[in-house]
Homo-oligomer: A and B are copies of this chain.
């Protein structure tokens, strides 16, 4: 817990107490432009040289679909997680070939399969443009003048990006760091010809399924390989990670280079309390309600189960993540440190001229949070759609609102109807993905019941929505009579605008219309409170930056970061959890669970078991500071060698959204030695093995 400690003695003292010992903490998702050289030198006696950093940076790959990866040969070979590549595997699959389930291997380059729409980025340079951005923003543009600041920032950002692209030909993104304390220009080399080389079966890549998700010990071969091409040939990638055939060694220092998506470590205490006491309990109750509903409905029938599967998995994943995060917020040590850190920071601010404005900003955030709490219940139900859990309703409301919004000037519309979003909005609105009316009735019926439970049967909105019927009868009636599941109907109404929508008198659209005024009013109130918070956070961010400089790391923003920490086990409920698992453990777990369901191994793994060295390390944990988006990041050793690939965090790491902890929180990797053993003995792919070991195809 030394999140904000570097330049603040008061804070450092508090955090030293909170964490037990500052020396234990390997916290941080560090910018490559401000790496933690001193900390690593001091604690691990290792020099982060420019050459070492440049090589790792240029070997790191961003999957724009939301993950990370790295080059592992000079011929453009990229490794990432199976679950990062799963969308692409799905898109390449057809009725005959289910590559997601069954795996894939290209024997020759000609067999490598070109992905449909995958873009990979490699970070080429970072330029600090803070002064230029700030110079363009009107002086004193805080509070009331906030809107002008937002517009000015948007304008200068677009200008810088356009100029850079023209000059360098590289993808150029201005990224906001330290909640607005700094602006950096990131330039990327883009690869858009990406081909699938190898994927294992999902049964071993995601062995243990939802029950083992976020758990440790673990046994997942969560990897797949792609190759980037240029001009129809495998790209020559001068920077790639040498594959360690030994894998990760217990206790050794490891580094993780990847793209953590987002963290909320700089939220104020009232915002965290709101999440802990209001938002998360509400979401969890809804998730658990939904999980029971869909499980129960799915258990009645195999086809039901198939229809509900994707949504059910999403719910279970979120439920586990939220349960873990709320546990951290209820941990007095973890939460107490957040409280103490904020108090110390405020004390520091109070002593300085620059701090007064930031202290006032803290108060504005607390007030805005109270305003949000007041409208939350109705806002979530009516605008957030928790009362109307059915795809049909979402479509109905889009048709209604698009009709009302599109005639307005672009800048005055609700943001999802803006010109910039139009193409992807229409693609979604006219998608013919199947919507199952039986499932829609089940979920709408349950969410209408939730509505009446929350607001009471006497509420005016409830009465309007239910129209004198029971939630179940009303849901069945609405779903069975609406026409919004017909794509042609949607097109007709979308093209015809508000008049066509009104003329259609579609019952579901009319429900959306009946609550629209109230729903919009709650949205407006929420967005206004959020804007207040954002502007206040930018002021606090600037003050923090003024106090601490770039000597600390900013919250995650899906930009390339460096994390570090030793390969290290932990203790849980009095039991020692070793850092590594082995293939022996994989088979033991499968056998113990009857080799059934999520624990059923692919046939080839059962047949070739005797060929494997079962003592080979399979998965391991380290204390590196990661979060979603880091999936697929390389774990490397001091020599910069690839020793593993990040694929998950354990349950305790679910606190990482709000802060770093290293007693039990761990990053999970697949070991490079384990991957090699599987490629050699189970998949018998000597060409791929050779490329990994020699770095050449």
Binding site for B on A (CB under 8 A): 210-212, 215, 277, 281, 285, 288-289, 291-292, 295-296, 299-302, 316, 319-320, 326-327, 330-334, 441, 449, 452-453, 456-457, 468-473, 476, 480, 573-574, 592-594, 598
Least CB distance from A565 to B in Å reads 23
A248 to chain B, nearest CB (A): 25
Give Cα A643 to B302, complex, Å: 33
| Contact flag A452-B330 (CB < 8 Å), given A299-B211, A573-B441 | yes
Q: Apart from A277-B456, A285-B289, what are 6 other A-B pairs with CB-CB below 8 Å?
A: A277-B453, A281-B453, A296-B316, A301-B593, A302-B592, A330-B452
This chain: copies in complex: 2
- The reply to whether A476 and B327 contact each other, CB–CB distance below 8 Å, is no
Q: List chain B residues, Cβ under 8 A from A299.
A: 210-211, 598
Residues on B with beta carbons closer than 8 Å to the beta carbon of A471 = 327, 330
Q: Is the CB of A476 within 8 A of B292?
A: no
Query: Nearest Cβ in chain B — how far from A210, in angstroms?
Result: 7
Return A24 CB to nearest CB of chain B, in Å.
Answer: 19
A449 in complex: contacting residue of B326, B441, B472, CB < 8 Å? B326
Contacts of A334 in B (CB 8 A): 470
B295 and A472 within 8 A (CB):
no
Please judge, given known A-B contacts A472-B327, A594-B302, whether A288 and B277 are in contact too, CB under 8 Å: no
CA of A470 to CA of B472 in the docked complex: distance in angstroms?
40
Query: Smallest distance from the beta carbon of A377 to chain B beta carbons, Å?
Result: 14
The 9 closest A-B pairs by CB, nearest first: A211-B299, A331-B470, A288-B292, A211-B300, A281-B453, A288-B288, A330-B470, A288-B289, A291-B292
Please indicate the chain B residues that have their CB under 8 angstroms from the CB of A319 in the complex: 292
Given contacts A292-B288, A470-B327, A471-B330, contact A300 B215 (CB under 8 A): yes
A330 touching B457, Cβ below 8 Å: yes
Pick 18 A–B contacts, CB within 8 A, sort by A: A210-B299, A211-B296, A215-B300, A277-B456, A281-B453, A285-B285, A288-B291, A292-B292, A295-B295, A299-B598, A301-B593, A302-B592, A302-B594, A326-B449, A327-B449, A327-B471, A330-B471, A330-B472
**Are A480 and B574 closer than 8 Å at their CB atoms?**
yes
The closest CB in chain B to the CB of A287 belongs to B292
CB-nearest residue of chain B to A208: B300
Chain B residues, CB < 8 A from A332? 468-470
**Complex: chain B residue closest to A292, CB-CB:** B288
Task: Find chain B residues with CB under 8 A from A452 CB.
Answer: 330
Residues in B with CB closer than 8 Å to A457 are 277, 330
CB A380 to nearest CB in B, in angstroms, measures 16
Residue of B nearest to A473 (CB): B331
Contacts of A281 in B (CB 8 A): 453
Bound Cα distance from A291 to B470, whole angstroms: 26
Q: Which of A215, A449, A574 gathers most chain B CB within 10 Å? A: A449
